């Protein structure tokens, strides 16, 4: 991973040991690596999330596996006012559009890996 | 795995390789004996200056001066209304901060909500207290046909353009030739009334050939385009607060010192323990979204606010993705495209801008509070059981003392901007 990510893209300066942020699903089975565009996430503007999903055991993804994304503000009792759309770019690579954090404060972004309709959730805390 | 990460790399211009932007936080600021801690300063800087108005892709004439001039005429014209007495300016009075000073507005009859001011409407994402419209041009079509507001119809509006030479000339110079109708020349009012097919206006509407209906809808949407262009000029900025922030950015102590102690203390509460910027954040003092702040029913009929409005705006034939939009693409209509009803939308209302709020009372969607002091006392005590849904949990009673309440009110009064040019306050000179 690291070697790949170090490849300079688009003429950007190479920082030492940069890596994608990551989270693990509740079962521990999946690693969710992610990147936001733009980064940092702008307040009250649409942003895109790119997700790179992998299995800890290195096996193939189950057929029919899908990814659902949602977000919440735990201290406010409400979530995001949009329905994010997830597109599979290739197996394990997803593009999430329609995300907008309208308030400052603590958000939780949920990436649900759905297998047979059962979600396995990775929770990503985000401070806006 | 390797293959997919390479693909992800290709998707991102600067994946991982560009360090995240680092800004050092600004330091605290002291003015006389009032200290604004660094966290407040960050919030204060985010509230000013007001940027120039956002682009409006679904109305290509949004910034066309000829359209704006026509819109200004239409805004003050009472002939859209069924009794010939009500115009937009009846409820959005230029001398009254573009509102009417009433708790609930009165057109042909009393309506269910308070008339919001039109200051800085160009900056909003959704229109009406519940956001059932996604543009100013589409919003303007509502009151013309609302039975309690102007009680007119799109056919009446079409005829007004056709039969007023000055309007026809301006219309055609902006939007091209006015389409002619094949029939129905003796009918004055016609519009769809989907929930009451027996309504005389509805019957007249469905009796028109489809092509005529499309033509009338097109002209109606252009009327909205023109009124939008006018309203986009109603901008409030350069308030004493903006001058303070400019001085803060410039490190100009004298400039910052021009605000009174009460205003500065109020600013500290607003951007600090009052948590007002959670919702009234950004340079227009609103997040452009909806919240349930836990108001009770106030002796009125139940108002569900945002929840039902989401379906309405998605289905609205005059929304940004519809055939009358100048740019129906998903890119130009992201907010509409991705919006979805959530349980928490019950009882939510749009966060109003607080610019010029001093003169825009009575306050709230039903005009229940007559003074800013009453509003602040509400946030201080949160006495109500919400009419419907749940009060947003971030809102907790602030338990302000009497001086803090006065300070917060003093701060709100520092948000009054520079007056508009006088020629925007009345129908344009012929």
pLDDT for B1-38, tens place per residue? 333 333 333 333 333 333 344 457 789 999 999 999 99
Confidence at residue B6, expressed as pLDDT on a 0 to 100 scale: 35
In CATH, what is the architecture of B65-235? Orthogonal Bundle (1.10)
For residues B48 and B238, the answer to whether their CB atoms sit within 8 Å is no
Whether A62 is covered by a domain: the verdict is: yes
Bridging pattern class, strands A46-55 and A66-73: unpaired
> Cβ of A81 and B337 within 8 Å?
no
Mean pLDDT of B240-263: 97
CA-nearest residue of chain A to B285?
A103
Q: What is the pLDDT of residues B117-168, one digit of tens each?
A: 999 999 999 999 999 999 999 999 999 999 999 999 999 999 999 999 999 9
pLDDT-based confidence at B203, cuts 50/70/90?
A: very high
Percent of chain B with pLDDT over 90: 92
Confidence at residue B185, expressed as pLDDT on a 0 to 100 scale: 73
Q: What is the pLDDT of residues B380-395, one digit of tens each?
A: 999 999 999 999 988 9
Confidence at residue B430, expressed as pLDDT on a 0 to 100 scale: 74
Start-to-end CA span in chain B (Å): 70
Distances B70 to A82, B80, B244, B266 between C-alpha atoms, Å: 36, 14, 37, 42
Instruction: Please tell me the distance from the alpha carbon of residue B97 to that of residue B359, in angstroms, as a whole number.
Output: 6
Query: Residues of B with CB below 8 A from A85's CB?
Result: 338
Disruptive mutation site among A104, A110, A127 for chain B (greatest number of B CBs within 10 Å): A104
Confidence at residue B25, expressed as pLDDT on a 0 to 100 scale: 79
Q: What is the pLDDT of residues B91-123, one digit of tens each?
A: 999 999 999 999 999 999 999 999 999 999 999
Confidence at residue B23, expressed as pLDDT on a 0 to 100 scale: 59
Instruction: Please tell me the distance from the alpha carbon of residue B417 to that of residue B354, in angstroms, as a whole number.
Output: 11
CA-nearest residue of chain A to B343?
A78
Whether A118 is covered by a domain: the verdict is: yes
Query: Any idea which residue has 């800004």 for tokens?
Result: B23
Task: Enter the tokens of residue A6.
Answer: 């170090």
> Cβ of A103 and B287 within 8 Å?
yes
Confidence at residue A10, expressed as pLDDT on a 0 to 100 scale: 42
> Cβ of B17 and A43 within 8 Å?
no
Q: What is the pLDDT of residues B257-316, one digit of tens each?
A: 999 999 999 999 999 999 999 999 999 999 999 999 999 999 899 999 999 999 999 999
Candidates B319, B316, B279, B298; CA nearest to B387 is B298
Whether A7 is covered by a domain: the verdict is: no
Domain membership of residue A41 as a residue range: 20-127
Is the Cβ of B45 closer than 8 Å to some Cβ of chain A?
no
Whether A43 is covered by a domain: the verdict is: yes
Q: What is the pLDDT of residues B53-73, one digit of tens each?
A: 999 999 999 999 999 999 999
Number of H helices, E strands in chain A: 1, 9
| Three-state secondary structure of B224-288 | HHHHHHHHCCCCCCCCHHHHHHHHHHHCCHHHHCCCCHHHHHHHHHHCCCCCHHHCCCCCCCCCC
CA-nearest residue of chain B to A79?
B344
Confidence at residue B204, expressed as pLDDT on a 0 to 100 scale: 95
H-helix segments, B37-113: 38-45, 65-75, 88-91
> Cβ of A81 and B289 within 8 Å?
yes
> Cβ of B8 and A19 within 8 Å?
no
Q: Is A111 helix (H, G, I), strand (E, B) or coil?
A: strand
Q: How many CB atoms lie within 10 A of CB A100?
A: 22
**Chain length of chain A:** 128
Phi-psi map region of B259: left, alpha, beta (phi>0 left; psi -120 to 50 alpha): beta
Q: What is the pLDDT of residues B343-375, one digit of tens each?
A: 899 999 999 999 999 999 999 999 999 999 999
How many domains are there within chain A? 1
User: What is the residue-averaged pLDDT of chain B?
Assistant: 93
Confidence at residue B18, expressed as pLDDT on a 0 to 100 scale: 38
User: Where residue A46 sits, what CATH number does that domain have?
Assistant: 2.60.40.1930
Is the Cβ of B399 closer than 8 Å to some Cβ of chain A?
no
pTM for this entry: 0.91
Residues of chain A scoring pLDDT < 70 = 1-18
The question of ipTM being above 0.85 is answered as no
């Amino acid at each position: 991973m690291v070697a790949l990510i170090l490849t300079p893209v688009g003429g950007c300066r190479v920082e030492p040991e940069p890596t994608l942020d990551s989270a693990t699903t509740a079962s521990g089975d999946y690693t969710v690596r992610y990147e936001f565009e733009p980064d940092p996430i702008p307040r009250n503007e649409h942003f895109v999330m790119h997700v790179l999903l992998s299995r800890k055991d290195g096996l193939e993804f189950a057929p029919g596996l899908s990814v659902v994304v949602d977000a919440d503000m735990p201290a406010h009792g409400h979530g995001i006012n949009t329905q994010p759309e997830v597109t599979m770019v290739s197996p394990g690579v997803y593009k999430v559009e329609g995300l907008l954090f309208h308030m400052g404060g603590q958000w939780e972004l949920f990436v649900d890996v759905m297998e047979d309709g059962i979600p396995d959730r990775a929770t990503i805390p985000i401070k806006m | 795995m390797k293959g997919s990460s390479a693909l992800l790399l290709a998707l991102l211009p600067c994946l991982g390789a560009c360090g995240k932007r680092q800004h050092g936080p600004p330091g605290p600021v002291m003015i006389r004996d009032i200290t604004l801690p660094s966290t407040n300063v960050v919030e204060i800087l985010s509230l000013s200056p007001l940027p120039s108005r956002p682009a409006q892709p679904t109305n290509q004439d949004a910034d066309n001066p000829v359209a704006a001039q026509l819109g200004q005429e239409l805004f003050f014209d009472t002939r859209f209304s069924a009794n010939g007495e009500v115009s937009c300016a009846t409820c959005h009075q230029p001398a009254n901060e573009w509102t009417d000073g009433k708790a609930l507005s009165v057109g042909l009859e009393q309506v269910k909500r308070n008339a919001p001011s039109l200051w800085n409407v160009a900056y909003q994402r959704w229109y009406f207290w519940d956001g059932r419209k996604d543009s100013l041009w589409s919003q303007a079509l509502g009151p013309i046909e609302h039975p309690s507001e102007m009680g007119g119809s799109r056919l009446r509006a079409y005829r007004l353009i056709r039969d007023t030479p000055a309007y026809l000339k301006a219309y055609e110079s902006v939007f091209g030739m006015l389409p002619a109708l094949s029939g129905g020349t003796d009918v004055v009012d016609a519009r769809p009334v989907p929930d009451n097919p027996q309504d005389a206006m509805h019957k007249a509407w469905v009796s028109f050939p489809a092509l005529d209906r499309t033509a009338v809808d097109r002209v109606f949407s252009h009327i909205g385009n023109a009124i939008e262009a006018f309203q986009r000029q109603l901008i409030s900025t350069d308030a004493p607060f903006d001058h303070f922030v400019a001085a803060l950015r410039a490190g100009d102590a004298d400039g910052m010192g021009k605000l009174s102690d009460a205003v500065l203390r109020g600013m500290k509460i607003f951007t600090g323990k009052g948590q007002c910027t959670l919702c009234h954040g950004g340079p227009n003092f609103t997040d452009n979204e909806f919240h349930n702040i836990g108001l009770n029913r106030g002796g009125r009929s139940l108002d569900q606010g945002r929840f039902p409005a989401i379906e309405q705006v998605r289905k609205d034939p005059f929304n940004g993705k519809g055939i009358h939009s100048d740019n129906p693409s998903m890119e130009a209509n992201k907010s509409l495209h991705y919006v979805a009803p959530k349980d928490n939308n019950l009882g939510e209302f749009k966060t109003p801008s607080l610019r010029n709020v001093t003169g825009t009372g009575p306050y709230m969607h039903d005009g229940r509070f007559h003074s800013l002091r009453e509003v602040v006392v509400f946030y201080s005590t949160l006495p109500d059981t919400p009419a419907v849904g749940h009060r947003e949990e971030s809102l907790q009673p602030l338990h302000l003392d009497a001086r803090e309440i006065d300070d917060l009110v003093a701060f709100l009064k520092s948000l009054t901007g520079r007056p508009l040019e006088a020629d925007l306050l009345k129908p344009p000179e012929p």
